[in-house]
A and B are shown apart, each in its own frame.
Chain A
């Protein structure tokens, strides 16, 4: 008996690095899984688990409505929404154009808003439900040259608490997970300027108290728990998952 047996789940960014791991885990736990993404192949090749692809541009209100209409027709309810779609822009605010700014906010923040807004009627039909947003440790402290990204994640954190307050009385739980360094295409891109992840591997690991960086499966472990009934009293919280990275002061090289 899986932890999510008979639950219906939808994962945005479901064909990205972390999204695929979440979909696979949900399917193994017995859920009916929709992997929502721009394209069936997504941003990354890899196993999808037993999930149904649904085309979703998270910035599009029409797409959000159509996606939830399909879930309504096929399942009549939604138990779990994971807002995992997101992008990163590696720029300071001076280098960031208004178009850059609007694009990252439209995906990371507006996307979370739209998917959640149109999922709410279906979540109510499940008699409760769990929304899991993607924040980041960058919503608390900054990485250099990631200004707009940091700002979107701070916005997601505040939205998470607001949604938890507004919809808690209906039994809908809302949490955000705030990953640190997770081995994904986005992370590799972040290292592009200073080298590739393989050569930086030891240095990155050594800054972490657990001496490694995260994997998509580490993230899926926490998302799965928050999605399950085991987490039935957990709501409105920001769950940092970073191998201990941000428990530390910056580690000067003495």
Chain B
């Protein structure tokens, strides 16, 4: 790969953290960002900037800061995202601003800021979408829609900015983070709920952040040199099966 410097948004925890750790292990220089302060346990080799991708000025500052550190930036991973558990009827203007601001406008802002140079120097963009942008999770209306935005933007960037820039998206399913255990804790019978959920995965496990880091690492590598404009699902088989599983009644 010509360029070994990356920006990964939202690298403080979860999937983003797994991606930045993987990049470091692969010898890629990384700058990551978040709305809070630098996490104490973040690898010392990783550069951190406190910023909100929903803000145009912040997005441009993230790209400039990374260029100050590393020179040319060859990789952008748009991972920063927020989730909101509401239907359309209960979603407020503030909710919309938060979810669409980070997930949709944030992805757009970062792509626009990075493309200024990538159009000349070349580069690879990977956006984190979701299976929820293809099939709906209940009571997650604006989140689901924001991920569909990410999928469509991914195709447009690939079409408009090839051949210099490749752009793909990854659609994770259920990835085991603190949020998943929190969801099961709310169930009447947490053990039964977890067993039911596992049965709905052909791989009989939830995803790990490392599973997503693996496919991101492949997509940014030269092994994927002819891959652009696509959205790849990594969900342990969840969405390959019908939502109606009579064996689980």
Chain A positions within 8 Å of B, measured between CB atoms, are 137-138, 141-144, 180-181, 190-191, 193-195, 200, 203-204, 207-208, 245-254
Contact = CB atoms under 8 A, between A and B. Distances in A.
B153 interface: no
Given A203-B249, A252-B193, A252-B197, A144 B135 contact: no
B119 interface: no
A222 to B, nearest CB: 20
A253 B186 CA distance: 11
Interface in B129-156: 131-132, 135-138
B190 to A, nearest CB: 9
Interface of B: 131-132, 135-138, 173, 183-184, 186-187, 192-193, 196-197, 200, 238-249
Contact of B136 (A138, A195, A249): A249
Contact of A142 (B173, B187, B240): B240
B239 A144 contact: no
A248 B243 CA distance: 7
Most buried by B among A190, A200, A249: A249
Given A141-B240, A253-B193, A248 B246 contact: no
15 contacts: A142-B240, A142-B242, A144-B241, A193-B247, A203-B246, A245-B243, A245-B244, A247-B136, A248-B137, A249-B136, A249-B173, A249-B243, A250-B238, A252-B196, A253-B193
Given A144-B247, A246-B135, A254-B184, 12 more contacts: A141-B242, A142-B242, A194-B247, A204-B246, A207-B244, A247-B135, A247-B136, A249-B239, A249-B243, A250-B245, A251-B138, A252-B200
Main secondary structure of the interface of A (DSSP, over half): loop
B249 A200 contact: yes
B242 A249 contact: no
Contacts of B243: 207, 245-246, 248-251
Contacts of A247: 135-136
A252 B239 CA distance: 12
B246 A200 contact: yes
B192 to A, nearest CB: 8
